[in-house]
Amino acid sequence: MASSTADGEDDEPVQEIRLVNDGEWWVATDVETGVTSQGESREAALENLDEAVALHEGEIGRPPTDEELREIGIEPEDNTTGSQEPPDVLK
pLDDT in tens, 15-56: 899 999 999 999 999 999 999 999 999 999 999 999 999 999
Which CATH number does the domain housing residue 7 bear?
A: 3.30.160
Tell me, what's the pLDDT at 3? 44
How many Å apart are CA 12 and CA 89, to the nearest integer?
A: 41
Q: In sequence order, which residues have a C-beta less than 8 Å from that of residue 65 and are 6 or more positions away?
A: none
Residue 91: inside a domain: no
How many Å apart are CA 79 and CA 64, to the nearest integer?
A: 12
pLDDT higher than threshold 80 for residue 10: no
Residue 12: inside a domain: yes
C-alpha angle 32-34-35 in degrees, rounded to nearest 5: 115
Q: Convert the pLDDT of each residue in 62-82 to its tens digit.
A: 788 899 889 999 888 887 765
Q: How many domains does the chain have?
A: 1
Report the amino acid identity of residue 67: E
Picking from 72, 68, 33, the residue whose alpha carbon sits closest to that of residue 50 is 33
Residue 14: inside a domain: yes
Residue 81: inside a domain: no
Tell me, what's the pLDDT at 87? 63
Predicted TM-score (pTM) of this structure: 0.56
